[in-house]
Structure 1
Amino acid sequence: MIGRRGFMASASAAALALPAGFARAAPQGAATGYRIRVRPVPLESVRLTEGPFLRAIEANRAYLLSLDPDRLLHNFRAGAGLEPKAPVYGGWEARGIAGHTLGHYLSACSLMHAQTGDAAVRERVAYIIGELAACQAAQGDGYIGGTTVERDGKEVDGKIVYEEIRRGDIRTGGFDVNGGWVPLYTWHKVQAGLIDAVRIAKVDAAMPVLIGMAGYLGTILEGLSEAQMQTLLKAEYGGLNEAYAETYALTGNPRWLRIAEKIYDHRVLDPLAGEQDKLAGLHANTQIPKLIGLARIYELGGGEKDHVAARFFRDVVAHHHSYVIGGNSEAEHFGPPDQLSKAITERTCEHCNSYNMLKLTRHQYGWAPDAALFDFYERIHLNHVLASQNPDSGMFAYFMPLSAGARRTWSTPHDSFWCCVGSGLESHAKHGDSIYWHDDAALYVNLFIPSVLDWEGAKLSLSGDYPFSDTVTIEVNAPMDRALALRLPEWSDAPRVRVNGETVRFQKRGGYAWLARKWRAGDRVELVLPMALAVEPMADDPGIVAFTHGPVVLAGDLGPDTDPWESLPPALVGASPREAVAPVDAAAHHFRLNGAKPQAVELLPFFNRYDRRTAVYFPSFTPARWEQESAAFIADQRAQQALKKRTVDQIDIGEQQPERDHDFALNHADLQSWAGKSGRLLPWGKGNFVEFTLAVRPGPMVLRALYWGEEVNKDFVILIDGKKLAEERRAVPPLKEWTSVDYAIPAGWTAGKDKVRVRFETAGTDCRVYEVRMLEAEGRGTSV
């Protein structure tokens, strides 16, 4: 066995001995991605001009430069035995997942430098690389990391988890490894940040740090049996397979590709390779990066099953698991396909999911350019990603709520650092990366974002107020022989093209207007895309509809987000939803729902309702049906509002963030899902438990647990702060539906407290726990 210092020295020496400039040049052969037919123009060749995407870039750049790298480096230095230079940030950075933001920050600063040319953000990258190199040298074996884990009541450096894995000691509940909060997920973010520092920011000093880091974990993974590996991969590991594939692409060393291929979760990926949708109940963003990794492995020489799995997954998520804005998941989880009507809540569309779906879509497009893929890409990019950053503050949203009356919850500068802050930092550093694509014959224009292109002799400027104008103008600023291929969105029925002021006929290829000619400096191309109003019904309930106008998803504007909202959700009553809509200013995407009850509603673009309450989906009724069903509809909505007002706290068991937010703990409890809901299965026996903290208020409290109605004849206990609240037998007739049970809590158990510890523990059988709420008892002013 090579000693720690010996390993580090050999890894660094090997990296430093590479030919000059090696870190910047991909090797020849499979490592270049020979299955890729079209590629994006390099980000550094694109500069954005005035418009909402440039404003997003500028807000993000200001936030990136406001952050202190030394605070993000705190745990890395402390873990290496070096004195931290600044205190750690709050939020997730003050918890076991610390360090993930640093990886995102490296990627975001690298992307921002390429997008804008700003030297200051690249200097941040170079500084962090120097600090990580010092931490790595102090560790002596290639390791760098910022995660922590609890041992014997103390928070210690997370490296201990990796050494336990090396010895074959692997325990996971799905969102942890040996008690550490998704350490492999954080590892991926840092390794990916180093890759971007090399590949995009061109900081060559990052290469030996990357090789040392990859070698440390790689040696551990290489030593695991297949069974041990599959146990480890039950935990969320981000795009770790992609990171090793990209390391191979940078170096040409087949070792890294072998490790990438070993990081293969058979439980999830085999059904996808067999074109089976078994996603219901799975944590969405745990899965998407796995498929991005498979896509990259396929490009670098992987098998056909990698291609099939990645393509099938993207297609099935896009067409059967996505909402009108293109985002997916409710409370971070996939539900059954084409069954979203009951999942329109305040916790829809995690941003990380959309960030990753865009990455996966780029891979699929590269294999076979199809304009329909960029129709989907644009739907997400405009209506979800752009909506997820507040351009005034530069802060980010975790979920994109679609329910009536919902508002966006924004991060804070120093005390959030959620996963979606990290992906937000990257998303809003690279809005120019997918506008222009190329092959040997053509330059493809896929997005209509105002920008200037200067690449390999091709000099273009794209202008216009799209999507608030239907005309996109492209000016050719230098002679060019390549054809121009302009995306023709499916939503536009009668697109037109003018060249130098004259309407021209064009060849249509794969959803593109194909314009082949010798372009001269001064040529001007205008693409006119008439926009029409469209109604998008829910697949499982066509009576629930959303509206789009061209590429823009519309939303009912329900007032400022600072005002409380206790009204009924707008419902449409009329012969058809389309007839309920009247234009106010179609160019501004402003319409009015005159047929809405209880009153007319203004429809405006969803993406820029940053500080407003909105409604995206609307239940619709014919007049006769409204007369028959309105009383039941109103009563149901009032009941939901009353429950929301009574709810003091709620935990969705089996979901990563709610569990972390409620100090979740367990001894034996597996992740599981049923009927689209996540949960935990406590195995048959005695003493298996889950426990968590819920907030309480003064006055009588009720604990409400959600069960699947067929889970009967049980024996488990529910405890509050160690006192037995109930011994639940579930001796009731089985029902094929969700059912709630309320447990009144003795007043003295919560008096003078603001939170209690709740525990579910087996007393003889298994136990399945899903959603648990702490409610105010009825009759305490909860009417609405």
Structure 2
Amino acid sequence: MKPGPYRDAVERNREYLLSLDPDRLLHNFRASAGLTPRAPVYGGWEARGIAGHTLGHYLSACSLMHAQTGDEAVRGRIAYIIDELALCQAAHGDGYIGGTTVERADETVDGKVVFEEVRRGDIRTGGFDVNGGWVPLYTWHKVHAGLIDAFQTGKVERALPVMLGMAGYLATILEGLSEAQMQTLLQAEYGGLNESYANTHAITGDPRWLRVAEKIYDHRVLDPLAAETDQLAGLHANTQIPKLIGLARIHELGGQPRDRTAAHFFRDTVVAHHSYVIGGNSEAEHFGPPDQLSEAITERTCEHCNSYNMLKLTRHQYGWAPDAALFDFYERVHLNHVLASQNPQTGMFAYFMPLSAGAKRTWSTHDDSFWCCVGSGMESHAKHGDSIYWHDADTLYVNLFIPSTLDWDGARIDLITEYPFADTVALMVKAPMTRALAIRLPGWAKAPGIAINGETARFDRRGGYALLRREWRAGDRIELTLPMTLDIEPTPDDPGIVAYTHGPVVLAADLGPASADWDSLPPALVGASPQAAATPIDAAAHRFRIAGAKPDAVTLVPFFNQYDRRTAVYFPSFTPARWKREEASFIAAQRAAQALKKRTVDQIDIGEQQPERDHDFAMNHADLQSWAGKSGRLLPWGSGNYIEFTLAVRPGPMVLRALYWGQEVDKDFVIEIDGKQLVEEHRSVPPVKQWVSNDYPVPPEWTEGKDSVRIRFETRGTDCRVYEVRMLAAETGRTA
């Protein structure tokens, strides 16, 4: 890769990878094997039950980094880790290697116990755990995939026997389960475990591994997709995407027609009906109803892992049938989400990419985060050279306009550009070549042009490409011109809420530094046309001005590089007449939302993996469910079924607020705080088809001197459904 923001991201990521201590990532693996750890475990997720997932990502990231840059220092890290894992595997003696843990009887024990319980048919899951262990199959997949990458991409041959031993250990468990037991197990998140087994088959040719891959099939989610039915609303998004990547790989290795159908339908459905303007998807990690985005523009939009995996799935689909529109999507996500998710100053990563007005990005820390999005971030920013060029038997495809040099199979080309901060892309031929060139013509480009050696060239359009055939000579220069225009993209369910794009770049209002508080009203557009409201300041730099925005004029800038700024991506728009009618109600609604945000001391979104983990969620019987786009928990009919969690409190009167669906009435359950009954709730109210909140004042002495309390919902004869719970400061002037 040549100089530019993508190479900067790769170099910053290399520094981060080399700054990590492999022995700290190996801590739990050695402890599990009865070997003395060489260094203390890292914090964050690595200090919890999901520990070990980072090591798998780290192996993949270092392998990708080595493949892209040839860096031997990162390859040395791979070799060291493989040797250590081989020692751990030998100590276990059965192929097992794992770093997961599980809480049992108020102590933390080795996570291997969960796998052996599953072997015996003892399988219990609440959706994000197996027998109390936090997604152990998800972590297993990360390590399995990391070993595959270490062997194939990192070129460390001794990774293969370690990987095969690991694959064999789990396979003996899965092969012994009935179909019903498998379906129970697959209710828990398992990452791309099917993909790893499919790739193991591709490496070895052993049909056993493909059979295991095909057995890892979640009928509940995948059958509707194979039938081309969208039932994604309420599902945890990144639990699903890797399943479809696995199906895509199984299809490529000879799987059933349903595998391709499901993967194809899923990708196209998510892109067309569940994605925001930057190409990312999900709000608070979950899919909402299709084409319903206007009410889900928050600080928790667009988990990075989702975009990382959607790009992987898009690559599979493109490999089946080249289509430039697939790389229009790829570029949209790669530029506006992936590049936005790494802070170029610190190398740290963002979990969510917030799109709401006034939001800022929250960055990981070096030693105490290790979220899933740190892991996928390591990988994303180790492979920015990936997918620029593709080929078939006689054609070289140019899909991404990233400054780079291609030296492959006789093709030697320099790609020179400052795109997206320039509208020209030059390809310099460095050696004679007979291959045709297919250059992507982005769908947003209204009047693209091509010149060869300074002269306007005619070209064939095919599948979104400019197809150029000739005997290429060293020194030939092909120049692609892509004039960029300002455009708007409304939300599908409310055309009055719009986002701006300029060429491939998503724009955002710059609302000031992230370090400063922001309590202004969200900018609103008032005028006959949102598109006409924006006038250029410096179009080449993607800077525009909206003088008529309310309450103040705003400047539009590229969203992706606002790393330490507060932004707004979506804007409500009004005609002058409508603004006159609705100004007061709009302002009142925004102020009410801001006031609720200020009053909120803590909040848990029930049924969502990370919020539950962050709040020490526990339960005995409570099924994951969703309704009207929100996740929740169903406590089944009876008495004594419970969920409990911890919420922060602060000095002063507190109010507990619970969110219910208005039609779920005539229920009997109690709410307790630290073992004391706060209320016996009956929900004996007329049913309404909307969300409703109930406020429960908390006696001040229950929170005095505390910084958190334990909340419990428990049934008393009926079922109970809970979706969101907040701890609020009492309104000013009122007491509890």
TM-score (norm. length: structure 2): 0.99
- The equivalent residue for 2:278 is 325
Specify which of 523, 531, 535 is matched with residue 488 of structure 2: 535
Q: Does 1:679 align with 2:632?
A: yes
Q: Does 1:525 align with 2:478?
A: yes
- The equivalent residue for 1:722 is 675
How many angstroms apart in 1 are the aligned matches of 2:218 and 2:338?
A: 29
Q: Does 1:406 align with 2:406?
A: no
Residues 46-85 of structure 1 mapped to structure 2, 5 A cutoff: 48-85=1-38
Q: Does 1:495 align with 2:448?
A: yes
How many angstroms apart in 2 are the aligned matches of 1:173 and 1:731?
A: 29
Specify which of 313, 316, 328 is matched with residue 363 of structure 1: 316
- The equivalent residue for 1:238 is 191
Q: Deviations over 1:577-629 (max 9, x none)?
A: 01111000000000011220011100000000000000000000000000000
Give the 3-state SS of the residue equivalent to 1:121 in structure 2.
helix
AA partner of residue 778 (structure 1): E
AA partner of residue 431 (structure 2): A
Residues 404-443 of structure 1 mapped to structure 2, 5 A cutoff: 404-443=357-396
- 1:576 Cα offset (Å): 1.0
- 1:278 Cα offset (Å): 0.2
AA partner of residue 675 (structure 1): A
Q: Deviations over 1:329-376 (max 9, x none)?
A: 000000000000000000000000000000000000000000000000
How many angstroms apart in 2 are the aligned matches of 1:781 and 1:418?
A: 40
How many angstroms apart in 1 are the aligned matches of 2:87 and 2:727?
A: 48
- 1:152 Cα offset (Å): 1.7
AA partner of residue 237 (structure 1): Y
Give the 3-state SS of the residue equivalent to 2:494 in structure 1.
coil
Residues 174-323 of structure 1 mapped to structure 2, 5 A cutoff: 174-323=127-276
- The equivalent residue for 2:49 is 96
Specify which of 43, 51, 76 is matched with residue 123 of structure 1: 76
Structure 1 segments unaligned to the other structure (5+ residues): 1-47
AA partner of residue 270 (structure 2): V
Q: Does 1:750 align with 2:700?
A: no
- The equivalent residue for 2:96 is 143
Q: Deviations over 1:18-52 (max 9, x none)?
A: xxxxxxxxxxxxxxxxxxxxxxxxxxxxxx11100
Q: Deviations over 1:273-308 (max 9, x none)?
A: 000000000000000000000000000000110000
- The equivalent residue for 1:31 is none
CA RMSD of aligned residues (A): 0.8
- 1:150 Cα offset (Å): 1.1
- The equivalent residue for 1:774 is 727
How many angstroms apart in 1 are the aligned matches of 2:472 and 2:28?
A: 55
AA partner of residue 426 (structure 1): E
Specify which of 626, 629, 646 is matched with residue 599 of structure 2: 646
- The equivalent residue for 2:514 is 561
How many angstroms apart in 2 are the aligned matches of 1:780 and 1:695?
A: 22
Residues 332-347 of structure 1 mapped to structure 2, 5 A cutoff: 332-347=285-300
- 1:144 Cα offset (Å): 0.1
How many angstroms apart in 2 are the aligned matches of 1:780 and 1:62?
A: 53
How many angstroms apart in 2 are the aligned matches of 1:487 and 1:761?
A: 58
- The equivalent residue for 1:614 is 567
AA partner of residue 240 (structure 1): L
How many angstroms apart in 2 are the aligned matches of 1:418 and 1:59?
A: 19
- The equivalent residue for 1:44 is none
- 1:272 Cα offset (Å): 0.2
- The equivalent residue for 2:558 is 605
Specify which of 529, 551, 562 is matched with residue 576 of structure 1: 529
How many angstroms apart in 1 are the aligned matches of 2:106 and 2:702?
A: 26
How many angstroms apart in 2 are the aligned matches of 1:595 and 1:451?
A: 42
How many angstroms apart in 2 are the aligned matches of 1:413 and 1:678?
A: 31
How many angstroms apart in 2 are the aligned matches of 1:320 and 1:68?
A: 42
- The equivalent residue for 1:670 is 623
How many angstroms apart in 1 are the aligned matches of 2:382 and 2:433?
A: 29
Specify which of 431, 444, 449 is matched with residue 402 of structure 2: 449
- 1:762 Cα offset (Å): 0.2
How many angstroms apart in 2 are the aligned matches of 1:191 and 1:208?
A: 12
- 1:759 Cα offset (Å): 0.1
AA partner of residue 84 (structure 2): E
Which has the larger displacement, 306-315 or 593-602?
593-602
How many angstroms apart in 1 are the aligned matches of 2:594 and 2:578?
A: 23
Structure 2 segments unaligned to the other structure (5+ residues): none
TM-score (norm. length: structure 1): 0.93
- The equivalent residue for 2:304 is 351
Q: Deviations over 1:236-293 (max 9, x none)?
A: 0000000000000111000000000000000000000000000000000000000000
AA partner of residue 210 (structure 2): L
- 1:781 Cα offset (Å): 11
AA partner of residue 557 (structure 1): D
Give the 3-state SS of the residue equivalent to 2:495 in structure 1.
coil
- The equivalent residue for 1:114 is 67
AA partner of residue 63 (structure 2): S
Q: Deviations over 1:510-558 (max 9, x none)?
A: 0000011111111111000010000101110000000000000000000
User: 1 or 2 for the larger relative contact order (CA 8 Å, sep ≥6)?
Assistant: 1
Matched residues, number: 735
Q: Does 1:155 align with 2:108?
A: yes
How many angstroms apart in 2 are the aligned matches of 1:130 and 1:455?
A: 33
Specify which of 694, 698, 701 is matched with residue 741 of structure 1: 694
How many angstroms apart in 1 are the aligned matches of 2:305 and 2:215?
A: 25
> What is the identity percentage for the equivalent residue pairs of Structure 1 and Structure 2?
79
Q: Does 1:478 align with 2:431?
A: yes
AA partner of residue 437 (structure 1): W
AA partner of residue 541 (structure 1): D
How many angstroms apart in 2 are the aligned matches of 1:603 and 1:250?
A: 49
Give the 3-state SS of the residue equivalent to 1:543 in structure 2.
strand
AA partner of residue 746 (structure 1): P
Give the 3-state SS of the residue equivalent to 2:14 in structure 1.
helix
Specify which of 656, 679, 684 is matched with residue 731 of structure 1: 684
How many angstroms apart in 1 are the aligned matches of 2:480 and 2:394?
A: 20
AA partner of residue 113 (structure 2): I
- The equivalent residue for 1:548 is 501
Give the 3-state SS of the residue equivalent to 2:382 in structure 1.
coil
- 1:780 Cα offset (Å): 6.1
Q: Deviations over 1:208-240 (max 9, x none)?
A: 000000000001000000000000000000000
- 1:154 Cα offset (Å): 1.1
AA partner of residue 288 (structure 2): G
How many angstroms apart in 1 are the aligned matches of 2:553 and 2:600?
A: 30
- The equivalent residue for 1:691 is 644
Label 1:342 to 1:518 Cα distance change in 2 as closer, same or farther (>3 A).
Answer: same
